[in-house]
A and B are shown apart, each in its own frame.
Chain A
Amino acid sequence: MAANIQQAHIEEITEPVKRFILDTFLPGEDPSALEFDTPLISGGIIDSISTLKLVTFLEEEFDIQVQANEMNSDNLDTLEEITSFVLSKK
């Protein structure tokens, strides 16, 4: 039961983030090409300005606060990392 709740939480976070990244930074891209572990910052998909946009989205969508020193590729480089990061803030 607990695992299912966790799984549901993950999808609630991952899906809107994925949609936001596809719509904002990857228009026209095949959605299945954006995988859980696709590198976003190191892979050139989001740059520093795009990272700010992503963080603003995360703050508004999930009602969290992100510190400036947290906005880096350790926390935000993949969908997986972003999801864990958001969960850790909840």
Chain B
Amino acid sequence: MQTHHDTLHGLLEHSAARRPAHTAVEDPERNNAVSYGDFNANADRLSEALRRIGVTGGDRVGIYVPKSIASITAVFGILKSGGAYVPVDPGAPPRRNAFIFQDCAVKGIVVANDLIEGLKAEFDDTYTLSVDPLSFLDGFALPVSLVRVVKSGEQPAQPSIANLSYILYTSGSTGKPKGVIHTHASALSFVRWTSDTVAFTEDDRFSSHAPFHFDLSILDIYVPMQHGATLILIGEDLGKTPARLGPMAAERKITVWYSTPSILRLLVEYGNLDQHDFSAMRVVFFAGEVFPIKHLKSLLEKWPHPVYYNLYGPTETNVCTYYKLPPTIPEDQVDPFPIGPVCENDRALVVDLDDQAVAPGAEGELLITGGSVMQGYWNLPERSAEAYFVDAEGTRWYHTGDIVREAAGGVFIFVGRRDRMVKRNGYRVELGEIEAALYRHPAVTEAAVVATPNAENGTIIKAFLSWSDGKPRGMIEMKKFCADNLPKYMIPDRFSSQPSLPKTSTDKINYQALKELD
């Protein structure tokens, strides 16, 4: 039998029983908030509405709502009904979102009212969609409805996953998004690890910067609930407007911040951090990409007091390694910090292309097994099987696709993405290493390097750069700079200056878009 200790929504129920009047969630953009007691009661009402349309254990329910108290109520309402939530990017094309909902055969979708028509247009006439307003959530200034989805005819078989809690769709290399399956157990393993590693209290005020379809949101949503702390929702617009985001974080006295390095860099540059009081900020987590050391140094100048953690882990594993930064960064440090040792709830292995362990200290792919690892990809048995290496004892190790080497004390150094290794003139080139060198140029604000196949040379390496003073540097200057910092075979063939580099909906550099630029 499940108890509140075994489920994600149990974290909320436990805190609601203990501190019903304490503020659970604040929405600065709509200027509203909800107490633990009311939040839990609203989630209960939503779970009843879901049960009425037949949602039961393991059923998928979509969330297609901009970040708001309504959208986080949907998260917990769906979990309470026994269902698993499938959040999508409200800014993505309705066609992509409809693909995701159809791919995992949702029984219902919680949708913002103004998005319903666009979504309906993407379902053909084998589907019947019926809309029921969830008017008990109207007080939160974002009207939402429950859309029941019924498909006529034969139903394709769907996987049955015990204790399914959510599916996060990530972009797939085939062009179709693939759904990463997590259970209550795998998410709780990560949530509890976080709480065991960093001390939190009910007075903490957590940022929720990441959108709910991005895995960084798992820490944001559940860790505060476990501690009866307060979560401050940062919506899509506010999250990308540093001139408002910085003042908001100060005004709302956020104590625990979590975002990508890209957002922290924008905050340093445009957030007017000097003009506000951030003395409440005590923990800063970052994850999702490498934090160039020069931008990290600028951040520490603005926010010297918090403890910083570099968290690492693909959506498939949750966070699986972590590195606590020293209080100051050595003056002469140019390399990014390590991704750190493996989290205590997981185990790590570094292997070669044949899944054989490499010699200690040698480069290889990082494999992860343990409590926080996914169950596989939804409806993609072959892709799921390829994702793991199964050892002689039958343990499934997830292939992260990241190349690391192990330094002293079990600390892993990130070398690069396996799929960002290219061969050029017979040499193996890690594109991330070129980016790291470009960041050493004093005027470079952003650097991204892509490789494209080329009939004549095999590989053409293109660097895309943005500049702190907006003045593009010429190829001769940049080639000379690279020649001073990199082996010859790693010098890019082309340099392209951009006002700023394109980003994905999760605020990482959009390499696909760069490949399409010329």
- Of B475, B482, B488, B491, the residue contacting A26 (CB under 8 A) is B475
Classify the interface of chain A: helix, strand, loop or mixed.
Answer: loop
The complex places the Cα of A29 from the Cα of B475 at a distance, in Å, of 6
Residues of A within 8 A of B477 (CB): 33
Decide if B491 touches A33 in the complex (CB within 8 Å). Answer: no
Q: Does A49 contact B (CB under 8 A)?
A: yes
Task: Please tell me the size bucket of the interface on A.
Answer: 10 to 19
Q: Is the CB of B476 within 8 A of A47?
A: no
Does B483 have its Cβ within 8 Å of any Cβ on chain A?
A: yes
User: What are the residues of chain A within 8 A of B425 when measuring CB–CB?
Assistant: 47-49
Chain B residues with Cβ under 8 A from A28's Cβ? 475
By the criterion CB–CB under 8 Å, are B489 and A47 in contact? yes
User: Which A residues are CB-close (under 8 A) to B482?
Assistant: 44
Is the CB of B479 closer than 8 A to any CB of chain A? Answer: yes
Please indicate the chain B residues that have their CB under 8 angstroms from the CB of A33 in the complex.
474, 476-477
Interface size on B, residues (CB 8 A): 14
| Residue among B477, B480, B494 with max Cβ neighbours from chain A (10 Å) | B480
Q: Answer yes or no: B275 CB below 8 A from chain A CBs.
A: no
Query: B479 near A43 (CB under 8 angstroms)?
Result: yes
CB-defined contacts of A44 to chain B, threshold 8 Å:
479-480, 482-483, 488, 491
Q: Which A residues are CB-close (under 8 A) to B155?
A: none
Comparing A7-15, A34-42, A55-63, A80-88, the segment that makes contact with chain B is A34-42
Check: B3 CB closer than 8 A to any chain A CB. no
Name the A residues within 8 Å of B494 (CB-CB). Answer: 27
Contact, CB under 8 Å: A30 / B488? no
CB contacts (< 8 Å) of B160 on chain A: these are none
Q: Find out whether the CB atom of B483 lies under 8 angstroms from the CB atom of A43.
A: yes
Q: List 20 A-B contacts (CB under 8 A).
A: A29-B474, A29-B475, A33-B474, A34-B476, A38-B476, A43-B479, A44-B479, A44-B480, A44-B482, A44-B483, A44-B488, A44-B491, A45-B476, A45-B479, A45-B480, A47-B488, A47-B491, A48-B425, A48-B488, A49-B425
Besides A27-B494, A42-B483, A48-B425, 19 other CB < 8 A contacts?
A26-B475, A26-B476, A29-B474, A29-B475, A29-B476, A33-B474, A33-B477, A34-B476, A39-B480, A43-B476, A43-B483, A44-B488, A44-B491, A45-B480, A47-B488, A47-B491, A48-B488, A49-B425, A49-B457
